[in-house]
Amino acid sequence: MPWDFDTSVPVYLQIAETVRRRIVSGEYERGSQLPSVRDLAVKAAVNPNTVQRAFMCLENDGLIETRGTMGRYVTDSLESVEAARETLAQDTIGAFCRRMEALGYTGEDTIELLKKTYEGETK
């Protein structure tokens, strides 16, 4: 099934984002080979050049590397993945905070509500 995209935002960024998340979550393990550009393009139903651009983006971030003609691999570096995990987390938190603010919650109220919700979930 083709992936869902917000077509008002550059698609290559969204692909890069999805691959980043999969690396961070471990779905694409460290050091493992990534699917080829063609395979990913067919799966996501996007243009191969778009996937290529997304990969280049991730390469710039140090999350993946090209090994000659053998293809693309996820980095072995734990630090890079951790750094990416943290960046993603920060982005998620940042977006969350802005949304709560828009609902009228102060910083403290938000933290209170968070605590309650977590406790409720772990019970």
Partner 1 sequence: MTEAPILECRGLTKTYGSHRGLEDFSVALPAGRIIGLLGPNGSGKTTLIKLCAGLLRPTSGQLYIDGMPVGPDTKSIVSYLPERICFDVSMTVEGVMAYYKDFFADFDEQRAKVMLEKLNIDTARKIKELSKGTREKVQLVLVMSRRAKLYLLDEPIGGVDPATRDYILSTIISNYSPDSSVIISTHLISDVENILDEFMFINEGKLILYNNCDNVRRELGKSLDRFFREVFRC
Binding positions for partner 1, rule: CB under 8 A: 1-2, 5-12, 38, 41-42, 45-50, 53
Give the nearer residue to partner 1 in terms of CB position, either 13 or 83: 13
Q: How far is the CB of 46 from partner 1 (least distance, A)?
A: 5
Q: How far is the CB of 45 from partner 1 (least distance, A)?
A: 6
The Cα–Cα gap between 68 and 50 comes to 20
Single-letter code of the amino acid located at 101: E
The Cα–Cα gap between 29 and 20 comes to 11
Give the nearer residue to partner 1 in terms of CB position, either 24 or 58: 58
